[in-house]
Amino acid sequence: MAAHITQSQPLQLQDRVAIVTGGSGGIGKAISLHLASLGAKLVINDVSSSNQSDLVVSEINTKFPSLSQSPRAVFVKADISDPIQVKNLFDEAESAFNSPLYIFVNVAGILDSSKSSIADSSLDNFDRTFAVNTRGAYLCCKEAANRLKQGGGGRIICVTSSLVVALRPGTGPYAASKAAVETMVKILAKELKGTRITANCVAPGAIATNLLFEGISEAELNIAVDESPFGRLGEPEDVAPVVGFLASDAAEWVNGQIVRVTGGDV
Active-site annotation, residues? 174
* Cβ atoms < 10 Å from Cβ of 133: 27
Give the residue among 15, 49, 45 at the shortest CA–CA distance from 31: 45
Cα 10 to its chain centre, rounded Å, is 24
Distance CA 234, CA 85 (A): 32
Of 65, 75, 94, 68, which Cα lies nearest the Cα of 29? 75
Judge contact between 60 and 72, C-beta under 8 A: yes
H-helix or E-strand spanning residue 155: strand 154-159
- SS3 label, residue 111: coil
Q: What's the half-sphere exposure (Cβ side, CA atoms, 13 Å) at 117? A: 2
Whole-number Å distance between alpha carbons of 240 and 237: 5
Report the interhelical angle of 172-191 vs 136-151 (nearest 10°). 20
Does residue 77 sit in helix, strand or coil?
A: strand
**CA-to-CA distance for 244 and 13, rounded, in angstroms?**
9
Question: Whole-angstrom Cα distance, residue 107 to residue 52?
Answer: 16
**H or E segment and range at residue 140:** helix 136-151
